[in-house]
Structure 1
């Protein structure tokens, strides 16, 4: 194992309050990245680290893409910023048209944001305002799912089901309920692809309809695949059952595809791979390959048209962001879509899915490994927790992988991987070998 990098003595680490990080732990042994190209990061000591996580689920086309850098550079010189409040510029209109071309059929209107969190809060606002616009203003209740992650806005943490993301803040949206999660180690451990058991969990929505009344429920929001909670996959038939129930009761179905969007599971969007079209879809991350912050919310024309009433001079939807449709972000996104199209990256995960699956499942039988889950180019190795130390083993594996040259994610004792879609079989072999070696020597 290589020795960890040492932090330069003249670099203070005190001022930056790092997000979603154990700051004191990190700063006692920092992991500092300096550059990136293709499948690899290079740290401040020159160590190469293969990217097993696409940055943070976002660099789907790999790192250092010159086409994106050139598009950003050209645009920032031409026009660095333009407002989209009562003004316009061509790029977001071009981008929206391009996005609709790859979106699920029927989702043909796009509202731009700056992140996944903003996309979720936007989607929730659209859902609530839509129900009111069509004369069903009693529909104010929102339903999320246990272990769901929907960003860090107050809307997102309210419908989300990861308790640590909200318990410190005390306040959340009223009128929110949750479906049960679909993680079932007893019946589905070591499933290859989507698990066979658990579609009936969608029927819990009928119980919530009985409890609250359909006339009071605006929307249900779920991730097609829960990423941040540790790659929790939808059982076969589960998403279709949710679609059937929501449609029956006039409840909007929102898919949070911030992680699954732009090729992660083998189609442009998970809704296409699993043949279920929601009413609203949130995206971000892979939209610009992580180069510039940007998100996009897709809705149907029918939903948008519900707002288009009253005087033409009336603002139909009192919502937006200073940087909605930012010209530099839009330029980055257009260049990213060009790469995805030219290199066939939006479907490449299906081509490599079986090889990726076999590599991950080769770790079955190792000490502490209690489950392995995979779909497309995403996977998780679930480790047994130490008694009285939940998350400790997962963190040790995560950290040791880094020093051995592999970046992974850990959620408690779950190790998650989602490599860039440019990954080759040799890269997969390297990632599995490093992870396997680390797990073997981790007590």
Structure 2
């Protein structure tokens, strides 16, 4: 009989789970004593690795001083103010502001609401259309479920949010045509800089720049969903900087605390803030745990640790080692191809990757199936030796998979 815990993205009748009881660095242990190499950083987020006392102690110290308190007016707290400053200082919007929440899904819904609110405040009340891309993943709240381009994740819930239009993943002409056909009605375009859960697809050359140009031309806002790309994953603090495109709104979560505490948020540009800050306006959205002091302390400690250990600057080295391993697998005919950037890649198998993932788990390596590919997104502290273990294991397991 299944346990009382109803797991997400899991058949509800499932009753066979691996119980993880301990983690350190890039290594996990289950309740049977088996070791696993965490080559997915849990779920695309553990940048600094597991078991870092610097973050654990910061959270504990904060909870001894102030365990929790809300941040609706007129209240705030010091770690929330500090983390907001640290985030915007590392973003393309150092003069912007941060809206905090508890997850990437909440961040996406908040960004969609803020985008529409900006147009409403400017008197463009017909601007409610959001353009989404095929293969996009934007979380699982109602707005993000509607915004994502993975059809299976949108099905089975009944009617979703209106006014969303999907365009093919890399077709900038389709975006141009859609905007022209909906002139004066498009509130925003939402996209990941590099699509993650939908398959790890980097943008084609000029695509993000084209989105920026079209948004400017048609008066729409550009939202970059940085939940996976943010906080060093691409080799810059944010994917926006890696690809040289500045959005109006940015969502983040995951890597901001390396997952040690749940934090998400939206970075708003100064131009967006100028609209929101008009006299008499109240931003009537928010979350009970937004700016939670213990969560904020985790973020402050995590970003400080990333700075101290120069983990963002380490990503080009990781990219070199990861692509070397992937190229070797491709040259040996073990995988068909690979794609990605920085420290996030997918190995294309050409067949359903779910069974391969399970065989890799049996061999002690955690990857994630994304359709016909296997995604890897290791902690940024992964060693060259551990990368060697990753590819040796993949070569052994996937060779048998093909036999």
**Per the shorter chain, which TM-score range?**
over 0.9
1:31 is aligned, of 18, 39, 50, to: 18
Aligned to 1:36, the other structure's residue is in SS state strand
1:324 is aligned, of 265, 290, 295, to: 290
1:373 is aligned, of 339, 348, 372, to: 339
Q: Is the 8 A contact 2:363 2:393 kept in 1?
A: yes
Q: For 1:252-308, what per-residue CA distance to the aligned partner results, in whole angstroms no more than 9, with x for missing partners?
A: 000000000001111100111111111100000011110110012101122112122
Structure 1 residue 161 corresponds to structure 2 residue 149: yes
Q: Distance in 1 between matches of 2:336 and 2:97?
A: 43
Aligned to 1:76: 63
Aligned to 1:333: 299
Q: Is the 8 A contact 1:383 1:414 kept in 2?
A: yes
2:4 is aligned, of 1, 10, 15, to: 15
Counterparts of residues 35-434 of structure 1 (less than 5 Å): 35-86=22-73, 87-105=75-93, 108-182=96-170, 201-213=171-183, 215-311=184-280, 316-365=282-331, 369-385=335-351, 391=352, 394-434=353-393
Q: For 1:9-35, what per-residue CA distance to the aligned partner results, in whole angstroms no more than 9, with x for missing partners?
A: xxx74211111123445x24x222110
Q: Distance in 1 between matches of 2:323 and 2:61?
A: 41
Q: Distance in 1 between matches of 2:217 and 2:26?
A: 45
Q: Distance in 2 between matches of 1:134 and 1:53?
A: 42
Query: Residues 21 and 371 (structure 1 numbering): CA distance in 2 closer, same or farther, change over 3 Å?
Result: same
Aligned to 2:336, the other structure's residue is in SS state strand
Q: Distance in 2 between matches of 1:162 and 1:107?
A: 34
Give the C-alpha shift of residue 107 in structure 1: 5.9
Q: Is the 8 A contact 2:93 2:269 kept in 1?
A: no
Q: Distance in 2 between matches of 1:247 and 1:122?
A: 22
Give the C-alpha shift of residue 367 in structure 1: 5.4
Query: Residues 350 and 408 (structure 1 numbering): CA distance in 2 closer, same or farther, change over 3 Å?
Result: same
Give the C-alpha shift of residue 418 in structure 1: 0.4
Count of residue correspondences: 401
TM-score in terms of structure 2 length: 0.96
Runs of 5+ unmatched residues, structure 2: none
Give the C-alpha shift of residue 171 in structure 1: 1.4
Aligned to 1:185: none
Q: Distance in 1 between matches of 2:83 and 2:180?
A: 42
Query: Residues 220 and 289 (structure 1 numbering): CA distance in 2 closer, same or farther, change over 3 Å?
Result: same
Aligned to 1:142, the other structure's residue is in SS state strand
Per mean C-alpha deviation after superposition, the further-off stretch among 430-439 and 112-121 is 430-439
Runs of 5+ unmatched residues, structure 1: 1-11, 183-200, 386-390
Q: Distance in 1 between matches of 2:263 and 2:337?
A: 34
